[in-house]
A and B are shown apart, each in its own frame.
Chain A
Amino acid sequence: MSQSLRSTRVTSLLKNFKRLESSSSKTQIKDAWTDFNFRPTSLKIDNDDIKKGVFDKINEQQGPHSIENYTQKLSYHSPNEIDETFKQAYEILQHEANIKYTHVKGMEKKLSESNSTESTISIQNRIDQLLTEAELYNPEVLYNVEFNKPESLDKSHPVYRHYLKQKWEKYDLMITMQRLEQLGVIPDTLPTLNPKADVKVKFPHNSESQFSNWIVPGEVLPAFAVEQPPTVQIQEFETVNPNQLYTVIVVNPDSPDLSTNSFSTTLHYGLQNIPLNNVNNIIDCQTLLNDVEDKFTFKSYVPLLPEKNAGKYQRACLWVFRQSEPLQLSSSTISSEKFDIRQFVASNNLNPIGAHVWRQVFDRSVPEIRQKYGLPKGRVFHRVRGTDPIIE
């Protein structure tokens, strides 16, 4: 493959270089993937032994570092010629990356010269795209994405966010959308959702791993497991504007409404003006502890505490919104009973980017937690025979 491959490439690359030289900048970047002066070190393989195994030949006497079992280690054989071919492949891909980084340099110059916000945003998006393309095939990045934990990846770099988004779209997003649709969160609360961010929820006050881990959308949780406010992680995949604020609410569209013999929506939790970015993306007890003057909380958390026989289950629908401007909501102006979520979203100019749902039923822990939150003793509903709605 090598000879013909190189010779055909050389002409096209020369052309590319000539075009670049004439257009953007004259500084050529060489060996971009080994230069960490202008690239973050998070694009490196942390483990030196593994890195050596990737870039050099694996020593047959010692075996690959990634295999732990001693006998397996010694009996492992690499495919023939893989190292030589890898070197050529690396050269080709790095050449492409060099071109991309030269483009990035040109775009950065443009960015410093631009004065309107619109052009700045478009240039920033283009830079992100170029950076993603430049690092997409970097073997070190591939290794980190494939074998490191997603939490340890550097979310400030667009390439890692690109891979995380791919992973999210493959499984978690599909689960979330399925549950939102099947449980009727869409359209019972908001008409639809165009998902932009990965929203995860957990209740870390629980000691049992069954309840303290990230919960799967649609799970039925007991009242004691949701006693304290949830920790919410909002992973954005686009580069977030540094001044971006978020609103998070939890509503229950299944509160029994006896006057109409139907159900109404109740607001259980409301947070506003929360500054988040790609890296610091968790709303946890730390955020709430720092919130002394109720800057963030406009409706303090009250868990869903379903009364006995009040429907099959109640849905706790958590919605996450991007704000277009800072809000001044307060508990005095917003009534949590008969909460109109659609009107709330429209009047505050909110943009829904993600949602989550869990379900609750009446269980033995409900009365105790009702007492803790100072709520009256729960009603017990009975079946009423008759066809007429209960209207006075």
Chain B
Amino acid sequence: MFKSMIPNGNHSHIITNTIFKTFSRGKRTATTINAATQKIVNQLSALSASRKQPKLIRLCQEDLIKHRTIVNAWKVFKRQREQKRTAQLKKQYESIVNAMEDLKTSSPELFELASEKPKKAVLFPLEMRTPTDYPANTPWIYNYSPPAKFIKAKKPTTPESS
């Protein structure tokens, strides 16, 4: 009765599904198992069976029904939220497709521009100092002033540069 209260209580079940074993007569073959899965298997094998059981809910009958009703309402709420989100995304995607189709016929040049793949993202600012094994000879520049183009935009957070 209580086991059904907690979703995904049985972890071991999920793991056994990912173990693939090929049987062949007379020949022993090792089980192929994902390294990450093996790690979880090892961790779970260190736990006793009773610890892997879902937690028992000690409530009186009335409160157990209340608890289940709350869980059910939460499930319903989450499902509706997810459905709404999916519908919204679908709508957005459809409108993007429609707009692009429209652009294709009306102005192919603009379509080319719009459908260009985004350039590779810049992960580090160009100004950033290259990491080195040892600190710089002048670790801090006290009278540092940023280049003129940065002054208007935003004050840089890292004043460090060599």
Contacts and interface: CB of A to CB of B under 8 A. Distances in A.
B60 A143 contact: no
Contacts of B72: 89, 93, 137
A324 B120 CA distance: 69
A89 B62 contact: no
Contacts of B60: 53, 58, 64, 66-67, 76, 78
A93 B63 contact: no
B80 A146 contact: no
Interface string B63-74: 111111110111
A357 B65 CA distance: 38
Contact of B62 (A9, A12, A64): A64
Nearest to B62: A53
A83 B66 contact: yes
Contacts of B52: none
B70 A9 contact: no
A82 B76 contact: no
A80 to B, nearest CB: 11
B59 interface: yes
Given A86-B69, A142-B69, A92 B62 contact: no
Interface in A36-67: 50, 53-54, 58, 64-67
Contacts of B76: 92-93, 96, 137
A234 to B, nearest CB: 27
A112 interface: no
B77 A79 contact: no
Contact of A89 (B59, B61, B69, B84): B69
A66 B61 contact: yes
Contacts of B73: 88-90, 92-93, 137
Given A12-B80, A12-B84, A64-B60, A89 B65 contact: no
Interface residues on chain A, size class: 20 to 34
Nearest to B73: A89
A271 B73 CA distance: 48
B14 interface: no
Interface string A129-163: 00000000101001100110000000000000000
Contact of A146 (B63, B65, B77, B84): B65
Nearest to A96: B76
Interface in A328-380: none
A54 B1 contact: no
Contacts of B11: none
A143 B80 contact: no
A139 B67 CA distance: 10
A5 B61 CA distance: 27
A86 B77 contact: no
Given A79-B63, A82-B70, A5 B77 contact: yes
Interface string A230-243: 00000000000000
For the complex of A and B, 9 pairs with smallest distance between CB atoms: A89-B73, A66-B61, A53-B62, A64-B60, A86-B66, A137-B72, A89-B70, A92-B73, A139-B69
Interface of B: 1, 59-70, 72-74, 76-77, 80-81, 84
Given A64-B61, A82-B63, 14 more contacts: A1-B74, A9-B77, A66-B62, A78-B60, A89-B69, A90-B69, A96-B76, A139-B65, A139-B68, A142-B65, A142-B68, A142-B69, A146-B61, A146-B65
Interface of A: 1, 5, 8-9, 12, 50, 53-54, 58, 64-67, 76, 78-79, 82-83, 85-86, 88-90, 92-93, 96, 137, 139, 142-143, 146-147
